[in-house]
Amino acid sequence: MKRQDFLKTTAAAAFGFQFIPHHVLGDGESTPPSRKINLAAIGCGGQAGADLNNMAGENIVALCDVDERRAAGMFNKYPQAKRFKDFRIMLEEMGDKIDAVLVGTPDHVHAVAAMAAMKHGKHVFCEKPLAHTVAEARAMSKEATERKLITQMGNQGHSSETIRIFREWIEDGAIGNVSEIHCGCDAFKDVYCQIRNIEKVRNEKPEVPKELDWDLWLGPTKERPYNPAYLPFNWRGWSAYGGGCIGDWVCHVIDPSFWALDLDMPVSILAETDGYDPAKDFESYPAGTKITYEFPAKGKRGPVKLIWFDGNRTIPRPQELAEGKKMIGTGAVVIGDKGKIMHGSHGAGEVRLIPEAAMQAYKRPEKSLPRVTAGHYRDWLDAIREGRQASSPFEYGARLSEIGLLGIIAIRMSGQKLLYDEKAMRFTNNEAANKHLSPQFRPGWKL
């Protein structure tokens, strides 16, 4: 089955198998659609807490978090759930009491936690990006596929109405043949660029809060002293733990074009950066970034150039946008030979043709893509009950995440154009870049 066909159908059909709900849930009896799923969470605060709130109707049986301060809200909300700090112990002890697992940790723990859950036969919802390295993302996709598990990545906009509208417009030829995409994010600049704090964290060794298990927070990464500059939110700006702006937003912003145009993998990536020296600033991310990806022609479409902007580098304002109209800070301008589409984040929010006259003149096509009516979280939970695949399974999420992960490597090789052989999973012209494709775990940790 061609990848484009896969994206239009359920993954279950593509894999050639059919789920049986009562077997999936493990209760040995006929499973009604109302059956509550026994759910465990790895990570309970922040985004994980928001995810859990969207799954509140299920049977929350176990909660795992290394920081009791961040987890306190969920611990209090679900007093019946058994509490853990180490997800490996949770999975061993709870066994068949768990049907599915939410992974909402910092990025550097996504892969080890999700892989552990899948190896225990659990269905998994994992926040974006799917992993912290390309090799991890590919391993997660392979594990989920081979075990025929029902998975979902936390790119919530992929279940939206607007992403389907965007794809239908693209397939209808609303802007003709797409050749270029300008996209990016201007959010949380001080979070993603932590260069100012590098020397501080190298020299300071503050006491670890008693509620935090710092060693477990580090997970598979190398040991280093605790510093409050890393958490609870700023880990996103430290390369050992997060992916900077592009790692945090690629799965929201690029998702519509990646899906609608079937972009798959680029053949080259080039990063240009502001205020960044890879040799001394590698622990964090630049104050401004421009990353140019080149995607080869595929099927009936020609080659596509995708240019990412973040921090001090902003998406160029298209001349078609009328004076006085607000320019997007986070989103994309998609350029075709017959027009342009501008949209925001999370599933092409507020998608419009520009100029406004083009939007008013456009005769919208009939809906042709299946809709996700229950929302992203319920889609995954219902997929488990119904024996089908969810809207953004790991097979898709891993490929989308890889775009951002390649961009992170390009930042580390700032100014050097990287040529990528996706089938071999290697850069053909830069051995130093290849070292960043796979994780380097400390002893005792593995996928």
Over the stretch 231-279, which tens digit does the pLDDT of each residue have? 999 999 999 999 999 999 999 999 999 999 999 999 999 999 998 999 9
Q: Which amino acid is at 11?
A: A
177: confidence class by pLDDT, cuts 50, 70, 90:
very high
Higher pLDDT, 245 or 28: 245
pLDDT at 395: 98
Residue 215 to residue 224: CA distance in whole angstroms: 9
Confidence class of residue 6 from pLDDT cuts 50, 70 and 90?
very low
Instruction: State pLDDT tens for residues 127-171.
Output: 999 999 999 999 999 999 999 999 999 999 999 999 999 999 999
Closest by CA to 155, choosing from 322, 354, 392, 357, is: 392
Taking the C-alpha atoms of residue 115 and residue 353, their distance in angstroms, rounded to an integer, is 41
| pLDDT for residue 445 is more than 80 | yes
pLDDT at 328: 97
* Residue 250: closest CA among 298, 303, 301, 309: 309
Rounded to whole angstroms, the Cα distance separating 355 from 319 reads 9
pLDDT of residue 14: 31
User: Which tens digit of pLDDT belongs to each residue from 49-104?
Assistant: 999 999 999 999 999 999 999 999 999 999 999 999 999 999 999 989 999 999 99
Answer whether residue 411 shows pLDDT above 90: yes
Q: What is the mean pLDDT of residues 407-412?
A: 98
Percent of the chain with pLDDT over 90: 91
User: Quick check: 119 pLDDT over 70?
Assistant: yes
Is residue 19's pLDDT more than 80? no
CB 134 within 8 A of CB 405: yes
Residue 210 banded pLDDT, cuts 50, 70, 90: very high
Which residue carries 């989920």 as its tokens?
A: 144
What does the pLDDT read at residue 264? Answer: 95
- Structural domain boundaries in the chain: 3-158+374-393, 159-366+403-434
Neighbours of 59 (CB within 10 A): 15
331-336 vs 178-185, strand pairing mode: antiparallel
257-295 burial string, b = 16+ CB within 10 Å, else e? Answer: bbbbbbbbbbebbbbbbeebebeebeebbbbbbbbbbbb
Whether residue 125 contacts residue 101, with contact meaning beta carbons closer than 8 Å, is answered with: yes
Query: For residues 293 and 269, what is the distance between their CA atoms, to the nearest angstrom?
Result: 5
pLDDT: is 25 or 92 the higher one?
92
At 34 the pLDDT is 66
Neighbours of 161 (CB within 10 A): 17
pLDDT score of 355 more than 50 = yes
Q: Which of 28-32, 138-142, 225-229, 348-352 has the lowest mean pLDDT?
A: 28-32
- Residue range 205-231: mean pLDDT, rounded: 97
* pLDDT grade for 21, boundaries at 50, 70 and 90: very low
DSSP alpha helix (H) spans, 62-173: 68-77, 87-94, 107-119, 134-146, 161-172
Q: If residue 152 lies in a helix (H) or strand (E), which one and from where to where?
A: strand 151-153
Residue 31: band (very low, low, confident or very high) from pLDDT cuts 50, 70, 90? very low
Burial of 212 (0-12, 13-18, 19+ CB in 10 A): buried
Assess whether pLDDT exceeds 70 at residue 2: no
Q: Which of 19-23, 356-360, 429-433 has the lowest mean pLDDT?
A: 19-23
pLDDT for residue 33? 62
Q: What integer pLDDT is reported at residue 32 of this predicted model?
A: 58
Q: Which fold has domain 3-158+374-393?
A: Rossmann fold (3.40.50)
Name the architecture of domain 159-366+403-434.
Answer: 2-Layer Sandwich (3.30)
Q: What is the pLDDT of residue 164?
A: 98
pLDDT, position 371:
98
Read off the pTM: 0.93
